[in-house]
Each structure stands twice: as structure tokens, then as C-alpha cells.
Amino acid sequence: MTAPDSDPTTDPEALRRRAEKALRTARDRTHTLTTCVDEPDLTAQHSPLMSPLVWDLAHIGNQEEQWLLRAVGGRDALRPEIDSIYDAFEHPRAERPTLPLLAPAEARGYVHEVRGRVLDVLERIELRGAPLVDAGFAFGMIAQHEQQHDETMLITHQLRRGPAALTAPPPPDTADGAALPEEVLVPGGPFTMGTSAEPWALDNERPAHHRLVPAFHIDTTPVTNGAYQRFIADGGYTERRWWTADGWAYIQEHGLAAPLFWRREGGQWLRRRFGVTEPVPPEEPVVHVSWYEADAYARWAGRRLPTEEEWEKAARHDPESGRSRRYPWGDEDPTPVHANLGQRHLRPAAAGSYPLGASPLGVRQLIGDVWEWTSSDFLPYPGFRAFPYREYSEVFFGPAHKVLRGGSFAVDEVACRGTFRNWDLPVRRQIFAGFRTARDAS
């Protein structure tokens, strides 16, 4: 991919190859996630928080048809009668199993037919002349959409009861976390937040604008399971003073006393991870905690969650040049030496891993491993413009949703960059979310 300061439309054939690769990579992952279990597991609803896997599969195809075949390619609709069935805003997840969904074989045939026609459109269309096609934006948007649903399906696999269906090697054992400083000072001053040049950036990442951020300290690595266990042992879930009013009410109502999927047995903490029960590894970043839990831990530690602008400055700002990078390590696309992405591993890497992915100031694992809760509400940037539809970002703006940054081991690189913004309700625990803490420099 080109650096952000260059013109991404100068090589249309390279853009075409990039778009095709992103689409094929996403489809290969979708295939893995929907062929590793039998049909009953595809059609079942494993949690009211999630859709049946077969709904996600056909929804992926339907969105691809609507945007790439109809809107971009000008083709006639293949299956207009299913548009409403796979409209995520028309049908909440809890009611989707009651809909007349395509059966697994029919859904596979549908997404296969759509993809064949999409590749034909991609081969013929000019990737310039309109915002939807400039630099292949719509193709990148759909590749990101599919990867986001792949992450959603991976969450469903984590919630599914039964034997393991997915396997992956452990992350590389290269951590030197014990030797790292606990925190890093990020100097105060202006920096450029967001982007106006990243060709496949989504609307809520735009436009680039200046922020003045006072100096602050931020954790060198995400908070670990071991550190979180100390919070639990010190009465973290029983001390009202660490919690917001809403957070305290929530954990009391649901009887929460540990991260999701943890249990105490025989004097040790165990977790269930994709069908395998194992001891909780103390050196890994904690995952499956809500915003309420992350915020309570930070208060207990005498710290706070970083704001969204603090997180992005720690991840992108280069103090020497004064510019904002695409990623902590620079402008080049992620590789396996930079970050734990793309479901290569089914767990976070140990805190301190990926030294080649560190920011200029030495902050590690800002990309990949776990989504990181911030203290910020999900709000538009100055000059925000919804594109290409309001329902992607605009309808979620407001204090109900908190911003997460950085991606997780379940995120593909096409849907993860230094400007990428995720958001969710503060109660959410099934997502692959952890956090790191911060404090004022003064």
C-alpha cells in the first residue's frame, strides 16, 4: 500500500490487485469459520447476543451484492427478497433465528455467486471518478465489513459450547515484558488525529484534524491477567468505591466477580477458550472485560483509562518528525513481526511481545492482541460527513457507546490501523476487549 502522503490512484492495477487480495483473504477466513462445525451449529443461536453463524454468512453476501454489484456495478439484484431478512437494523440479533434464513448450502451458493460477479465488476470498472469507487473504496469497505463479521463469528465460536472446532499455534514467545518500564511519558503538545488521506478509512476516522493533548503517562503494555487477578484478590468486585454507579448496579445485578469465561477451581483461575479449559496465563493481556470493569480496575490502581486522543497520540505521533504515522511502527502495512492480527493465533500474546511493533516512544501492542477500552464516548470528529450511509457510524454517536482502539488478535489488518475506531456498549464482555491505563503527567 502507498504511504498516506502519496496519491493512491496512480496505479489502478495495483489497487485492483489489492482489492482482490483483501476480498479473497476475507472469504478464506469466512470459509474456515463456517466449515469447521456441522450444520446444527451453523443454524443454532449460541447466545442471544449473537446471530446464528449462517445469518452472518448470508448477510456478508447480501451486503456485497447491494454495494458492489448493485451500487458500484449497476447490476440487477440477485435476491432482492432477502434484503430485509439480512438488514441488521431491521432485525435485532435475538430474533434472527425466527427469520426464514437461507439454509447453509443455499447461503454458501449465494455468497459464491455474488463473489464471482463482484470479481467481474472489479476487473472492468474504473477505480476513480466517484467517491464510492475512488481508490477502490467500496471494495475495501466490503472487505472490512466481511472481516468485521468474521470477528463477530469468532466471538460466536467462543460462546459456543462443545469441543474445540478451531485451532491455531500459540503466539511467538518473544516477550521481554518483565524488563520494560511500567509506563511511558507522552509529551504534551499538538498532533494530527484522524485521517483525510487513508484511501480505505471509514467515515468516523475522518477528517484529519489537530488536537492539543497535555502530557500524560500510559502503560507500556496492556493490563495483564496477573495484574487483574490482584485487583480481584483485593476485593475489586466487592468494593463499591471503585465503580461508577451504572457499573456497580450492573455487576450486582448479574453477580459478576471475574472476567467472562473465568472460574475459580482448586485454588486457581481457569478460563474457557474456544472449547478448551486451561489455567489463566498471568502474562497475557486480560480479555473479555467490560468498560465498567476496565474503569474500576484503573480507579483501583490509582489511574484512569486513556482518552481516545491520548491513545491515538501514543500510537501514531512521532516526536522527532512531528507527524502522525499510519501505525506505531511506521507507515508500512502490518506483518507477523509487528502485531498479533488476523486470527493467526487464538489468544493474545504475552505482554511485551512484538518489540518491532512498538511506537516511537516505546509503547507496545497498541495494534492487535486486545481491543483497548478508552474513557471516551463515541462522537464525530469536527467536519464529520456520513459516507456512504448513516447507519455505519452516525446513528451510534453519543454517550451510550464507548470507544475501543487498536484491534485484537481476531482483527484482520484491513480493518485495523492507527486511526481505526471501534465502539460498543460499556456492558459488553463477549468481545475481545482489554485495556491499558494512564495518568496525568502533572
What are the tens digits of pLDDT across the range 58-112?
Answer: 999 999 999 999 999 999 999 999 999 999 999 999 999 999 999 999 999 999 9
pLDDT at 430: 98
Does 112 belong to an annotated binding site? no
Please provide residue 190's backbone torsions phi and psi, each rounded to the nearest 5 degrees.
-80, 160
Which has more confidence, 164 or 2? 164
pLDDT at 378: 98
- The pLDDT of residue 139 is above 80: yes
Does 149 belong to an annotated binding site? yes
Position 5 in a domain = no
The grid cell for 145 is 465489513
Residue 216 · residue 310 · CB < 8 Å: yes
- The pLDDT of residue 28 is above 60: yes
Does 165 belong to an annotated binding site? no
In the chain, pLDDT over 90 holds for what percent of residues? Answer: 95
- Name the band, by pLDDT with cuts 50, 70 and 90, for residue 10: low
To the question of pTM greater than 0.85 for the whole model, the response is yes
Position 216 in a domain = yes
Which has more confidence, 4 or 169? 169
Tens-digit pLDDT profile for residues 208-263: 999 999 999 999 999 999 999 999 999 999 999 999 999 999 999 999 999 999 99
- Name the band, by pLDDT with cuts 50, 70 and 90, for residue 2: very low
Does 59 belong to an annotated binding site? yes
Same domain, residue pair 178 and 54: no
Position 378 in a domain = yes
Residue 426 · residue 246 · CB < 8 Å: yes
Does 205 belong to an annotated binding site? no
Residue 403 · residue 378 · CB < 8 Å: yes
pLDDT at 226: 98
Position 381 in a domain = yes
Tell me the C-alpha distance between 48 and 63, whole Å. 23
Q: Which of 129, 159, 189 is the last residue of a domain?
A: 159
pLDDT at 8: 46
Counted residue by residue, the chain has a size of: 442
Tell me the C-alpha distance between 392 and 195, whole Å. 17
**Interval 171-196 mean pLDDT:** 91
- Name the band, by pLDDT with cuts 50, 70 and 90, for residue 177: confident
Position 7 in a domain = no
Does 91 belong to an annotated binding site? no
Same domain, residue pair 91 and 228: no
Tens-digit pLDDT profile for residues 117-128: 999 999 999 999
Of 74-88, 175-189, 258-272, the range with the lowest mean pLDDT is 175-189
Tens-digit pLDDT profile for residues 41-63: 999 999 999 999 999 999 999 99
Containing domain of residue 306, as a range? 169-441
Number of domains in the chain: 2
Largest Cα–Cα distance of the chain, in whole Å?
Answer: 65
**Interval 185-213 mean pLDDT:** 97
Does 385 belong to an annotated binding site? no
Position 213 in a domain = yes
Position 233 in a domain = yes
- The pLDDT of residue 3 is above 70: no
Position 164 in a domain = no
Q: Is 351 left (phi over 0), alpha (psi -120 to 50) or beta?
A: beta
Same domain, residue pair 419 and 290: yes
